Amino acid sequence: MNLHSKLAARAAEGRPIRVAHIGAGKFGSMFLHQARIMPGVHVMGIADLSIPRAQAALDRVHWPVWAYDAADLDMAFTTGRTHLTEDSMALIADPRIDVVVEATGNPAAGLRHARHAIAHGKHVVMVNVEADVLAGPLLAREAAAAGVVYSMAYGDQPALVCELVDTLRAAGFTIIAAGKGTKYLPHFHASTPETVWGFYGLTPEQAREGGMNPQMFNSFLDGTKSGIEMAAIANATGLDVPQDGLGFPAAGTAELPFALRPHNEGGVLPKKGMVEVVSSVRRDGAEIPDNLRWGVYAVFEGETDYARRCFAEYGVATDDSGRYAALWRPYHFIGLELGVSVASAALRQEATGSSTAWRGDVVAVTKRAIRKGEVLDGEGGALVWGKCVPAARSASLQALPIGLAHGVALARDVPEGVILTESDLGALPDNEAWRIRGAMASAFG
């Protein structure tokens, strides 16, 4: 509870945390909005594939032009301004950078940037959960060996769930379930970037004005992002993943300790200690009044009569037995909170959540029948969605991870609703992302 004072001290000393920010999309823009007004933080450089796009993002979040007009990193360092560049690797390698924020959303790019940062002794805040689920345990191990921090991004739901879980465990409680809320109906799995805005009640024009990427927002809707986030939480906390994917039970906050308990006690869980996502709507589409669409939760156990009596005395939300209790946060600030991870990594050398094992994976499932020769369009696309399954099941199937289901053609026809495997591709690609994923599976499988 001292990050702000530590940041203020760094500001007073003229030694701000110097940040390299990679990717100026929606999440990145939200962080950049706050970063310029955070004490003790200097975004020394921003790398994006399109400088005009980065400039437009900075304009949207009220950065004056003079604040990002540094001609090079030397000028940025001496003036406190920001340099815009397309060369992410050079920015990451600059010896004056302390923390790299990877916010591209591209799994292959995320792996490349994280490894480059670790090799150059930089802390990594991995906004790119897609890359983390592909090989996060391996990256975390490499970071630890290099003496740097590899961290989830605070403000995003996985890090906030990890915080809830850690807080409760530190107090001696057993976690029964943990996860987040979302709006879910079974037919959302078939959504495509062409149909997505109707589900959100937006026009394409409104979405463009908000800087929203249709494929990214479709991944939120079709279940892929939920699967990715639950796999990341499982890998960071040791909680288990349902064998055949998330169930998305409909539950409001009052129902959490009732629904998220073992099935032999009236709940939906196969056992204690699971990740799960709760839907903000019933299966008939009716909205739950106290829904957790934007929030996170943990259900935990009062294992003695005394603990359960304390729950009752202090108004803790429990099930009818008083044994299972729930703690939640109703919303998250996404990139607006990311500075907590930057400060924690640089000032405490602590991650706000980090993968420790390979327990969950996200596999590509066909949205429709796909013909031989069709090229997959990846997360949030029109052809596949990502299902969260135990890593052991994924490994036994040699399943195609959703993070690698992009730009590859099928070698045979595959029907709708099938988990794709490596054998469906024929010859596997030979590139850095596939090699890193293979190394992770070998090390942690």
Per residue in 332-384, pLDDT (tens digit) is: 999 999 999 999 999 999 999 999 999 999 999 999 999 999 999 999 999 99
pLDDT computed for residue 213 by the predictor: 85
pLDDT computed for residue 395 by the predictor: 97
pLDDT computed for residue 212 by the predictor: 80
Task: Give the residue numbers spanning the domain of 17.
Answer: 3-155+336-348
Side-chain half-sphere of 202: how many Cα atoms within 13 Å?
Answer: 19
Number of domains in the chain: 3
pLDDT computed for residue 400 by the predictor: 98
pLDDT computed for residue 209 by the predictor: 80
Helix (H) or strand (E) holding 438: helix 432-444
Q: Is the same domain home to 149 and 170?
A: no
pLDDT computed for residue 372 by the predictor: 97
Task: Point out the residues of the chain with pLDDT beneath 50.
Answer: none
Q: Alpha carbon of 211 to those of 61, 107, 205: distances in Å?
A: 11, 20, 10
Residue 364 lies in a domain: yes
Q: Is the same domain home to 147 and 10?
A: yes
- Smallest Cα–Cα separation from 433: which of 381, 385, 378? 378
Report CA Rg, the chain.
22
Residue 115 lies in a domain: yes
- Helices then strands, counting H and E runs in the chain, come out as 17, 15
CB 342 within 8 A of CB 96: no
Separation between Cα atoms, residue 124 and residue 101, nearest integer Å: 6
83-85 and 99-102: which strand pairing?
unpaired
Residue 209 lies in a domain: no
Residue 212 lies in a domain: no
Side-chain half-sphere of 32: how many Cα atoms within 13 Å?
Answer: 33
Q: Is the same domain home to 232 and 102?
A: no
